Amino acid sequence: MINTTTTTNLWPAELPLPEWKDTYDTVHRWTQIVGKIRLALTPQVNHWWNSTLYVTPRGLTTSSMYYDGRPLQIDFDFISNLLLIVTADNPTKSIALRSYSVAEFYHETMAALRSLGVPVTIWTTPVEVPDRTPFERDSKHKSYDPEYSQRFWRILSQANRVFSEFRSHFIGKVSPVHFFWGAFDLAITRFSGRSAPSHPGAPYCAPFVMTEAYSHEVSSCGFWPGGGPINEPIFYAYSYPEPQGFNEYHIQPKEAFYHSVMKEFVLPYNAVSTSNSPDRVLLSFLQSTYEAAATCAQWDRNVLERQQ
């Protein structure tokens, strides 16, 4: 069981979006490059789960992939500020994470893979961002602040821990806790088991991607560092399709609210990090927003939930 008396020092005090936005935009595209490599080297899994990254004790990883039967893995190490490419039959290749452009990162990463006998090809246009400059031509995004990158990873690490506990109480279909490099968020999704109507699509993303991602009815939650109408890091929760009454459901904690533009429940990160019990506060948000989705959409909770 999770320790709901966890001290706040495990959670970074803050992650102010305006102060690290340039680093955020650069690292976002770096993760898209690595994520697209994983997408190219893995068989497709429902909802694009084969494309996601995972939290590690030092950063993010692709987990094991294969090229012509040879295993490899790519890791972001935000403690040592390195990108590590690990194979079973060659020395590890490392690339320093520093203030240099997305184009330079792309060319160094692909050259390192070729030197290891992995000449993979990816579609180089970024997704889910308004600036669609291909990676190999992107000299605009070139910032890297190790302090903020590590702070972001530390938040992901703690969120991953609490999300994993929340995940364990559901015995229906449930996603891994994984990092989506498209939106740059850590997420977990529960499924009712019922099909969903075709998704209307999302900006800067191909319609078929969203159709596959939301093929079935979901209750989803996660952590996002912010952007657009949200100028701060948040925890979020939504349901697709959104059932009647969902947006008016009473949720916890008191700092959480329904964002009419995002069409999601939102809990500011600072409400968690500054509380006396961050884990308990976050779990209350995850559970109450799930109950909002499951109750309003009449999920078969007796079948889907682990009985305590």
In tens digits, what is the pLDDT along the chain, a chain of 308 residues? Answer: 455 444 557 999 899 999 999 999 999 999 999 999 999 999 999 999 999 999 999 999 999 999 999 999 999 999 999 999 999 987 899 999 999 999 999 999 999 999 999 999 999 999 999 999 999 999 999 999 999 999 999 999 999 999 999 999 999 999 999 999 999 999 999 999 999 999 999 999 999 999 999 999 999 999 999 999 999 999 999 999 999 999 999 999 999 999 999 999 999 999 999 999 999 999 999 999 999 999 999 999 999 999 87
| Closest C-alpha to 272, from 88, 2, 8, 3 | 8
Position 232, amino acid: E
- Cβ proximity of 63 and 54 under 8 Å: yes
Q: What angle do CA 244, 304, 269 make, to 5 degrees?
A: 65
CA angle 294, 295, 296 (to 5 degrees): 100
Q: What pTM was computed for the model?
A: 0.95
CB 74 within 8 A of CB 37: yes
For residue 202, what are its two tokens? Answer: 């999302």
C-alpha distances in angstroms, 84 versus 23, 39, 136? 19, 18, 20
